[in-house]
Amino acid sequence: MKNPLSPSLSRRSFIKTSALAGGGMLIGFNLFQACKPEVTPPVDITQLNFNDFNAFIKIADNGMVTIFSPNPEIGQGVKTAMPMLIAEELDVSWDNVLVVQGALDTKNYTRQVAGGSQSIRHGWEPLRQTGATAKQMLINAAAAQWGVKASECTAKNGVISNSSGATLGYGDVVTAAAGLEVPENVTLKDPKDFTIIGKDIPNVDLDKIITGKSLYGLDYKADGMVYASVLRPPSFGKKLIDCDETSVKKITGVLDVIKFGDKVAVLAKDTWTAMKGKKDLKVTWEVDSKLENTEDHDQILTSLLEGSEFKTMRKDGNVKEAFAQADQVIERTYESPFLPHNCMEPMNFFADVTDEKVRLVGPIQTPAGTAERVARLLERDVEDVSVEMTRMGGGFGRRLYGDFALEAAEISKLAKKPVKVVYSREDDMTAGIYRPAIKYRISASIKDNKITGYHLKEASVNSNMYGLIPNFFPAGAIENYQVDVANYKSNITTGAWRAPYTNFLSFAEQSFFDELSEILEIDRIKLRLDLLQKVKGTTDEKIEYSPERLEKVIQLAVDKSGWGNAKEGVYQGFSAYYCHNTHVAEVAEVVLENDLPIVKKVTCVVDCGIVVNPLGAKNQIEGGVIDGIGHAMYGDFAFKDGEPQYKNFNTYKLIRMNETPLVETHFVESNASPTGLGEPTLPPAGAAVANAIKAAKGIRLYKQPFIKNMKSKDLLG
Amino acid sequence: MPIYNLKVNGQSHAVEADQDTPLLWVLRDHLNMVGTKFGCGIGQCGACTIHLDGSATRSCLLQVSMVDDMEITTIEGLSEDGGHPVQQAWKEVDVPQCGYCQAGQIMTAASFLSQNNTPDTSEIRDAMSGNICRCAAYNRIEKAVAVAATKMK
Ligand code: FES
Ligand code: FES
């Protein structure tokens, strides 16, 4: 029988229960289905069986709850936070909850992106509903056993009570509950009754991490597996002509050398031998397309800013007119380099391609998309391809791209063996999908000491800011407002990097407003707050941020940081930004040691709605702030004749402990739905530091990385 | 290929490997101990830190031929079941984000604290600065080392 799909079916459609053979109940649901912004039921519920679900809650007859979550951990704490949402509404003690990584079914659900900082926002309602549904079934079973109405029973901490004081544990009724119908309507808790959400819960994988258990893609092994080290073109714009592998094949332990496309893979019985063999390949490359240089990019981006080939992303009023009538026009240009992701765990992937199936295992955030691409590459049915996700040693956007999985699949197919592709750090840094180099030019018209117009231009490599960004602050606050973008197509691969675009735009914008307040001689905080007043009550539905929430984080940051009352020798810088649905304000404190700016402390105020797991949330916030400072201060990259000039950590500098500030975090109390924290504290950090450096040294920074550009201007002692 | 006799976490292992194979890859690929991590291969990140006769050493730079018969301790052998004071402190402070660098951080901290269990903040910051954490969990690592120091007194 086919059920017509109706909205009221939506919960049943992603939850299904069954009794466990040895007692207990299994609740299956689709985590990704449940966590999409709008829940849409799968095609035909009656056809679903348990293989169609990728997440399960097992309630055993001793009351223990196991949550099998397929959402792998990338370092953002979702593997801990998402089960917390279920456990809260299920109303069990967290001590009785075990979180286990489940396998992923890539067959039935296609739009799966795992581990991103939006997971918690999208999972907030559906995951709690799943927990509440299970709880209601347990209550219904207890009520039936007592012969009372379910409405006369309550459940708390794994125990159900009725009005006459009788109690039953979840374990006592779970097997009976498994046979009941899935209830249609359940009530979610009032946030004031939360006992798990809002509590400090340690990372569920802590024990495994601190004892060195196998968790990551690089740790994965399978029977008969060989290791592959891949030689790729040394420069963007070169292709493979010829490869002489005679000497490599003589190395003991080298099993095979395989050419595919413009790449050569050396297969060996262990990683080291494969890497060694790769170094020994004698290869001829040929120029295939333009070999680009950093100086070229610099000039091209500047001429794009000065040209007229723009796409307008938002236009309010008439900036041209405002600029024509202005007393003064302020124009500043901000520049940032390409950046590699440098995940701590280098890219790697396992593939076993046989006639029957294609099995892929490794750290990836886009399993379904990758399965499709592999299927297309190998000309196989996507049903034949399975992807298992491991814990990931960082992502920062790099693991959205499955290029490494495709390599593994192709090599395994040609070698007819299970293969693990392992990148060296040099491979990882030179075969990157980089943050594009970007220049922003911001102009403002001033009339009667007021900002009357604001024009933002973006010149970027390969792609431009996504459509929501032009509706961030200061959209709506300035009458004449325009955002224009232009790009240059390069053969250097680029892509998403933690907080795409905003990671640098925030620096440009918040430096610009800081400078404007100096020029206009208006207090820095007042300038920002005055602009926000104009946005309040806006009827423009496109405006992404909330002026009230931004105002609140600004005021709280002023308050908590002791803004304006720094000790002698301590210089403060301010920055406030909205992105990824989260409002953030930061105050950086800089001191000078031997004339060098040292960031000592950052006060970070965050409005991310309800804080699901403060312990994990603060870790994200601290990491985001320090990452933002590290890349703004030190992150540099360059190309010469298409070849990346930084290849490992001896020349590429990542921030280290002795350079890190103390991050002090404050949350705005809120009952709003939670938003993600993996990204939004990074963007404001660069400007907070730049503005503090301005206060300390009188130098305005327009270019990242700061340290290099300060040095090149010979401004350091 | 030569055979080396390695003493890892109190156990002897005979390993057949090229003399220039870094201990890191012998541990990971030959002995199946994957707790020691690969981050850079050139001694810059600390992900591969192990103890060699008690002191923190980068296993990516140590050729297997150099460690024959020396005492090697890896994260798997630092304690039974994570009971070392540094591991305990790491739990208390809930340090990891992605967690990938943490075995190396713990091994560096354990060796440092065994030589100085009353470190001040700047000593901790200097001692830990050879270990990169790309997730920048530095505030927590710093705090956890201080907590571990109090446990080791
Ligand atoms: S892998 Fe040994 S120091 Fe980085
Ligand atoms: S926790 Fe991710 S690299 Fe340190």
Give pLDDT tens digits for A400-411. 999 999 999 999
Amino acid at A645: Q
Q: B136 alpha carbon to ligand 2 midpoint, in Å?
A: 7
Residue A229 lies in a domain: yes
Contacts with B42 from chain A: Cβ below 8 Å? 425, 648-650
Same domain, A621 and A703: yes
Residue A679 lies in a domain: yes
Contact A505, A541 (CB under 8 A): no
pLDDT in tens, A280-298: 999 999 999 999 999 999 9
pLDDT at A467 over 90: yes
How many structural domains does chain A have?
A: 3
Size of interface A-B (CB pairs under 8 A): 187
Same domain, A471 and A368: no
Residue A307 lies in a domain: no
Same domain, A474 and A351: no
> From the CA of B53, how many Å to the nearest CA of chain A?
20
The domain boundary, picked from A379, A398, A422, lies at A422
Q: B86 alpha carbon to ligand 2 midpoint, in Å?
A: 17
Q: Which atom of ligand 2 is nearest to the CA of B105?
A: 4
Same domain, A416 and A453: no
Between strands A450-461 and B3-8, the pairing is unpaired
> What is the distance between the alpha carbons of residues A77 and A272, in angstroms, rounded to a whole number?
33
Q: Write down the pTM of the prediction.
A: 0.94
Mean pLDDT, rounded, for A324-338? 98
> What is the distance between the alpha carbons of residues A261 and A520, in angstroms, rounded to a whole number?
58
Domains of chain B in sequence order = 3-78 (3.10.20.30), 85-152 (1.10.150.120)
Between strands B3-8 and B71-73, the pairing is parallel
pLDDT in tens, A47-59: 334 444 567 788 9
Same domain, A50 and A101: yes
Residues of the domain holding A223: 217-288+347-422
| Structure tokens given for A650 | 């001896």
- In 3D space, the residue among A243, A246, A253 whose CA is nearest the CA of residue A276 turns out to be A253
- In 3D space, the residue among A99, A75, A90 whose CA is nearest the CA of residue A131 turns out to be A90
Those residues whose C-beta lies under 8 Å from the C-beta of residue A420, and which sit 6 or more positions away, are: A220, A221, A225, A226, A227, A228, A348, A349, A350, A408
| Structure tokens given for A622 | 């601290």
Ligand 1 pocket mutation, candidates B23, B40, B75, B107, criterion most atoms within 8 A of CB: B40
Q: Which atom of ligand 2 is nearest to the CA of A393?
A: 2
Residue A296 lies in a domain: no
Residue A60 lies in a domain: yes
pLDDT at A273 over 60: yes
> From the CA of A625, how many Å to the nearest CA of chain B?
9
| Structure tokens given for A358 | 């294609």
Q: Which atom of ligand 2 is nearest to the CA of B95?
A: 1
Residue ranges around ligand 1 (CB below 6 Å) = B 38-41, 43-48, 58, 60
Task: Give the number of the ligand closest to the Cα of residue A626.
Answer: 2
Same domain, A648 and A711: yes
> What pLDDT score was predicted for residue A365?
86
Residue A338 lies in a domain: no
> From the CA of B143, how many Å to the nearest CA of chain A?
11
Contacts with A624 from chain B: Cβ below 8 Å? 136
The number of CA neighbours under 13 Å toward the Cβ of A308 is: 0
pLDDT in tens, A28-49: 776 554 444 333 333 333 333 4
Place of tokens 């297997």: B64
- In 3D space, the residue among A576, A596, A592, A597 whose CA is nearest the CA of residue A685 turns out to be A576
| Structure tokens given for B145 | 């080392």
Cross-strand pairs, A68? A56, A100
Sign of CA dihedral A467, A473, A478, A482: negative
Q: What is the CATH number of the domain that holds A412?
A: 3.30.365.10
Same domain, A462 and A492: yes
Neighbours of B143 (CB within 10 A): 16
Q: Considering CB atoms only, which of A211, A391, A393 is closest to B75? A: A211
Residues in chain B predicted with pLDDT less than 50, given as ranges, are none
Cross-strand pairs, A192? none
> What pLDDT score was predicted for residue A333?
98
Residue A119 lies in a domain: yes
Same domain, A564 and A658: yes
CA A217 to chain centre: 18
> From the CA of B38, how many Å to the nearest CA of chain A?
7
> What is the distance between the alpha carbons of residues A464 and A304, in angstroms, rounded to a whole number?
13
pLDDT in tens, B53-71: 999 999 999 999 999 889 9
Those residues whose C-beta lies under 8 Å from the C-beta of residue A332, and which sit 6 or more positions away, are: A441, A442, A443, A508, A511, A512, A515, A702
pLDDT at A1 over 50: no
pLDDT at A383 over 70: yes
- In 3D space, the residue among B140, B80, B148 whose CA is nearest the CA of residue B111 turns out to be B148
Contacts with B91 from chain A: Cβ below 8 Å? 202, 206-207, 210
Mean pLDDT, rounded, for A681-686? 98
Neighbours of A593 (CB within 10 A): 9
Contact A34, A11 (CB under 8 A): no
pLDDT in tens, A60-108: 889 999 887 766 677 788 888 888 999 999 999 999 998 876 655 444 4
A502 or A595, greater pLDDT: A502
Q: Considering CB atoms only, which of A210, A214, A395 is closest to B106? A: A210
Task: Give the number of the ligand closest to the Cα of residue A654.
Answer: 2
- In 3D space, the residue among A116, A100, A103 whose CA is nearest the CA of residue A676 turns out to be A116
